[in-house]
Structure 1
């Protein structure tokens, strides 16, 4: 397996997280996303992603684009315990909408972060408004679930790829000028995710400190 990766990308991070959780060996191909824009190079677009986006995973010679699609692929193929993407159709039906929400987070909170970090020419006010609307939806869902004892997005006793997919751009939202102060249930969920055994972080999402 080979991952075309950018260290500071939340979408790439979620794939690295699941590869780590599943203890899967892989080759990491670091891409010069900024300022080199290597993901827009002709060779990458021709052979790996027609829209020139990261991440892309090569598995058995097949290039799989899109972070959420990669999560489904990895969990379906390499998680015999079935934690991350259970076989139960009802649970998969609950997971699917959150994969779409993860795309909404990329296009709002993730875009705001690109604007602030790299100066991408975006309507930053619109990005932040859209991000807050998505965060409100997540917070309301988590708060409602908590009243019934649910701790994770799909209502499962353990996290699934729904949680992996949504986590990075929630946790990184402050880097795009979007505070999480108004979303208490979401902040608690971020804390739970970070306290998982074997958690790995990235710049802006560090592993929690372990006390004496």
Structure 2
């Protein structure tokens, strides 16, 4: 349960197809915080209109509004929510624990984005990305994560942190980018543990574009 409660529901500007936005939706739900979702029509370019650019000049989802606070960037939002509303389990305060979480937040912005996330964007939305390079990055990532998760319930140890929240969405939906998870039993077990957490919410499944 959260250690604090917002004075009013947090607003989450998102796309239901965005793994970055799903990270935030998932964490809000895991924390059992009141929130409302406002869909941003990315295909219509709503994220590039002045009203939204005032919230995030980069024109990207997600964005949250928590009272007077407006904040963009999914990983930054996770840190904010964990620090304000979570307990130390979600974002450890000790130096080594905090560094372990940061390692995977960097991975979420790096290899996870360049690998399974990019492969999914190319397959689902026709984004002009190098699908073979994305696939190679994803396979390299999974080759590292598979043995890492052996003997661990979660990415940094026995308890879930925002590292797991940041990593979950695009790894769980890697098959939508043509990257199967059959060969990775440790990763699949970790995904199931995440999906069993109280308050878990799934991201909408999508079908790749026809080749």
- Equivalent residues in 2 for 1:44-59, closer than 5 Å: 44-45=52-53, 47-59=54-66
Confirm or deny that 1:196 pairs with 2:197: yes
Aligned to 2:114, which of 107, 115, 133?
107
Confirm or deny that 1:23 pairs with 2:25: no
Aligned to 1:42, which of 39, 47, 50?
50
Aligned to 1:3, which of 5, 8, 12?
12
Structure with greater contact order relative to length (CA < 8 Å, sep ≥ 6)? 2
Cα contact 2:16–2:22 (8 A) shared by 1: yes
Root-mean-square deviation (CA, aligned residues, Å) is: 1.6
5+ unaligned residues in a row in structure 1: which ranges? 206-212
Q: How many residues align?
A: 196
1:23 partner SS: coil
Question: Normalising to structure 2: TM-score of the pair?
Answer: 0.87
Aligned to 2:155, which of 153, 156, 176?
153
Deviation at 1:197? 2.5
Question: Normalising to structure 1: TM-score of the pair?
Answer: 0.86
Separation in structure 2 between the aligned mates of residue 89 and residue 74 of structure 1, nearest angstrom = 19
5+ unaligned residues in a row in structure 2: which ranges? 1-9, 207-211
Partner of 1:62: 69
Runs (4+) of structure 1 exceeding 3 A deviation are none
Q: Deviations over 1:62-89 (max 9, x none)?
A: 321111110000000011x322112222
